[in-house]
C-alpha cells in the first residue's frame, strides 16, 4: 500500500518542481525606458536662435525702408515683449503683417514670439514664410532656420531638426579676403 501512496505523492511534486524550474527560465519583459522629457523652456529656445544668428558685424545686412506705422508697431511689440505681454506683442506684429505681409524681419519677429509662447507649429510657419521671402544669407537667414530647428525639436522631430540645423551653415557667406 505504501508504494501506491508514494507514487501519488511523487507525481504532483514532480509536476510542481518542473513548473517551478520552467518558471525560473522565463525572463520578465525588459523595463520600458521612458523617453527623456525635454525640459527646454521657450526662453532657452529663443536664446538658441539668438546664438545662431551670431555677430553680424562682418556681413552685409541690407535693411529695407519701412513704413512708419509698421516701425511703430515693431517698437510697440518690442516694448510689450520686454514687459512680458506676449499676447499684446503678437497682436502688434500681426497688425504690422496686415500692412506688410512680406517683410521677412517682421515675420521672424512674429515667429520668435510664437516660439516664446510655445506655439511651435506657428513659429515654424512664420519662419518658413520668412525664409521663402527673405535673404538666403546673413544673420536673419540663420535666425529663420534656427527658429525652424527649435520648433521641430520642441515637437520631438529630431531628424527634421537636424536638416534645419544644416541649413544654418548655408546662411553664412565667407568674407572676401583682401590682400
Distance CA 69, CA 94 (A): 13
- What are the contacts of 32-36 at 24+ separation with CB within 8 A? 35/156
Length of the chain: 179
What percent of the chain has a predicted confidence (pLDDT) above 90? 54
- Quickly tell me which residue has 544644416 as its cell: 166
The residue-averaged pLDDT of 75-84 equals 96
Residues 6+ apart with CB under 8 A from 148: 124, 127, 128, 131, 164, 167
Distance CA 20, CA 15 (A): 9
pLDDT at position 8: 65
Confidence of residue 159 (pLDDT cuts 50, 70, 90): very high
**Does the structure show a pLDDT above 90 at 131?**
yes
Confidence of residue 38 (pLDDT cuts 50, 70, 90): confident
pLDDT at position 30: 59
**Does the structure show a pLDDT above 80 at 152?**
yes
Residues 6+ apart with CB under 8 A from 57: none
Distance CA 127, CA 134 (A): 10
Give the lowest-confidence range in 3-7, 9-13, 149-153.
3-7
C-alpha pair distances (Å), 104 with each of 1, 30, 132, 168, 178:
99, 50, 9, 16, 31
DSSP symbol at 177: P
Residues 6+ apart with CB under 8 A from 90: 77, 110, 113, 114, 117
Give the lowest-confidence range in 19-23, 28-32, 75-79, 83-87.
28-32
DSSP symbol at 27: P
Model pTM? 0.74
Amino acid at each position: 500500500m505504501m508504494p501506491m501512496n508514494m507514487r501519488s505523492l511523487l507525481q504532483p511534486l514532480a509536476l510542481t518542481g518542473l513548473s517551478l524550474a520552467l518558471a525560473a527560465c522565463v525572463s520578465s519583459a525588459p523595463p520600458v525606458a521612458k523617453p527623456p522629457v525635454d525640459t527646454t523652456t521657450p526662453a532657452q529656445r529663443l536664446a538658441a536662435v539668438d546664438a545662431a544668428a551670431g555677430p553680424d558685424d562682418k556681413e552685409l545686412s541690407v535693411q529695407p525702408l519701412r513704413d512708419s506705422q509698421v516701425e511703430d508697431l515693431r517698437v510697440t511689440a518690442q516694448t510689450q515683449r520686454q514687459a512680458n505681454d506676449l499676447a499684446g506683442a503678437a497682436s502688434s506684429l500681426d497688425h504690422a503683417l496686415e500692412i506688410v505681409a512680406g517683410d521677412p524681419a517682421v515675420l521672424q519677429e512674429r515667429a520668435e514670439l510664437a516660439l516664446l509662447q510655445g506655439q511651435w507649429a506657428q513659429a515654424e510657419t512664420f519662419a518658413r514664410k520668412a525664409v521663402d521671402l527673405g535673404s538666403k544669407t546673413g544673420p536673419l537667414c540663420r535666425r529663420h532656420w534656427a527658429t525652424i530647428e527649435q520648433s521641430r525639436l520642441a515637437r520631438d522631430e529630431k531628424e527634421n531638426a537636424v536638416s534645419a540645423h544644416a541649413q544654418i551653415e548655408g546662411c553664412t557667406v565667407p568674407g572676401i579676403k583682401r590682400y
